[in-house]
Structure 1
Amino acid sequence: MADIVPHRPVLKRPENSALLAHWDALRGDAVAPQRSSFHPMDVPRHLPRLIMLEPDLPAKADIRIFGTELAHRLGYDLTGQDMFDLYDSDRVHVVRELVTLVAEQHLVAVGYTDWTTPAGHVFTTENVWFPLICEDGKVTRLLGSLWEMTAIDADIVSLGDSLDKAENLSDRKFYQF
C-alpha cells in the first residue's frame, strides 16, 4: 500500500523544490494545474532533466518528453517509448503503481533511485512526479524531474544503454496537499 502524506514534500534538491513551487503556483486552489497552463519553456533550467508522460492506464505511459541530459546519461533518448515496456516483470509493477497513483489520485510522488555506472560508480537521483490535468479534471500528463543527490566520482558518459543500472526506488512517498 502506498504511503500518502497529507502535506507538501520537503525536497532535497533545490531544483526540484523550484519546480514544485512552479507547479503549485500554476495549480492555485485546484488539485493540479491544467496541462495547457504548463509550458516547458517556462522552466528552461529543468528541461534537460524533465520527463513528460502521457498515461493511458492501465495499458501504457508513453514518454512524450525525455530531457537531453537524461538521454545523454542513459545513452539514448526514450521519447516515444512506453515507460512500462522499459522495465522487467519484477520491477514494472512498482513503476505502474507510481504512475497510477499520481494519475488517479492527483498525488505528487517523490522517490530516490540508486544508479550504478558501467565503471561501478554509484549515484542517487531524487525523482519527483507531478500530475497535470485537462479541463474535465482527468490527468493527461505526468511531469517528472530527476536530479542527482550524491557526488559522482567519474564523468558519466553513459549508463550503458540500460535501465538495469537502476536499483528499485527507495524512500518512495506520495503527497496530497
Structure 2
Amino acid sequence: MGGLMDMIADPEHRALFDWWLSARGAREMPSRSDFDPLDHPGLLPRLFIVDVNPLPPHFRYRLCGTEIDEQQGYPMTGRTFEDLFEGELYRFTQERFADVAFHRRISYHTTYFTNDNTAKRSRFTRLLLPMSEDGDRIDTVLGSRTRVSDFRRNFDELDHDAKIRRRYEIAVVPAAEADRAKATALERPGCRGRTPA
C-alpha cells in the first residue's frame, strides 16, 4: 500500500491534507489556532472540528458544516458522541477518533450507513487530522466528510441485504510521518445506524 495521499481521491480531502502538511512546518502537527475555517470557504460545508477531552466524554463537535447537519437532520455543533450515536455506530466513531486523538494517527476511511427509517443509505469518505496547541497533547481533530453516493430502498430490504454488512475501508498513518509513511489498512465489520460526521 502506498502513501496516504496516493489513496485519497477526493480533491477536498486532498486540499485539506495539503493544508495540514504545509501548516505543521517542522512540528508533528499544526495547532487549532493555525486553522481559520473562513480561509477555506469551499470546504466549509463539509468540515468539522471536534474538541478532545482526556476524560469522557472524549469528543464534542466545536463546529460542523451545514451540509453535514443537513444530512444528519439535526445540528451537531456543541454535542458529544454520546449525545449523537449508539451501539456499533458509537463504537466505530469513537474508535476512529480515538485512533487520531490518543494514538497520534491520521485516519482516512469509508463508512456506509442508513440514517433513518426512510432507509436513505449513503457512502461517505472521512479524513481525520490531529491538531495540538501545545505540541504534545492532541486537543482537536480537524476533519472533512464527503458523500460519495446514496440510494433509497425500504428499511427491511436494507436490513436483510448482505452488502450492508460489507467491511469498512480504513487507512491510517502516524501523524509524524504523514508525508512519507505507507498507509496501514484496517478492517472492521459494517454496521447500521445514523450517519456520523
TM-score (norm 2): 0.72
In 1, Cα distance between equivalents of 2:167 and 2:15: 22
- Does structure 2 retain, via aligned residues, the 8 Å contact 1:52–1:144? yes
In the comparison of the two structures, how many residue pairs are matched?
161
- For residues 116-127 of structure 1, what are the structure 2 equivalents within 5 Å? 116=114, 118-127=117-126
Whether the aligned pair in 1 keeps the contact of 2:132 and 2:139 (CA below 8 Å) is: yes
Distance 2:2 2:94 in 1: 22
**Structure-2 separation of matches of 1:107 and 1:17:** 17
Does the Cα contact within 8 Å between 2:60 and 2:80 map onto a contact in 1? yes
Deviation per residue, 1:109-159 (Å, 9 max, x gap): 111111336544433110110001112421111011000122x457xxxxx
Partner residue of 1:8 out of 1, 4, 21 = 4
Give % identity. Answer: 23
1:106 corresponding residue in structure 2 = 104
Task: Check the 8 A contact 2:31/2:135 in 1, yes or no.
Answer: no
Deviations 1:5-34, CA, capped at 9 Å, x for gaps: 894342121111111101111012221111
Quote the Cα distance in structure 2 between the aligned partners of 1:175 and 1:98. Answer: 12
The match for 2:23 among 23, 26, 40 is 26
Moved more, 59-68 or 109-118: 109-118
Pick from 30, 34, 37 the counterpart of residue 37 of structure 1: 34
Of 27, 31, 50, the match for 1:53: 50
Deviation larger for 21-30 or 95-104: 95-104
Mark the CA change 1:119 to 1:90 in structure 2 (over 3 Å): closer, same or farther.
Answer: closer
TM-score w.r.t. structure 1 length? 0.79
- For 1:171 and 1:104, locate their aligned partners in 2 and report how far apart those are by CA, in whole Å: 21
Q: Which runs of 4+ in 1 moved over 4 A?
A: 166-169
Which letter maps to 1:175? V
Are the equivalent residues in 1 in contact too, given 2:106–2:127 (CA < 8 A)? Answer: yes
**Which structure 2 segments of 5+ residues have no match?**
153-163, 178-197
Query: Which structure is higher in RCO with an 8 Å CA cutoff and minimum separation 6?
Result: 1
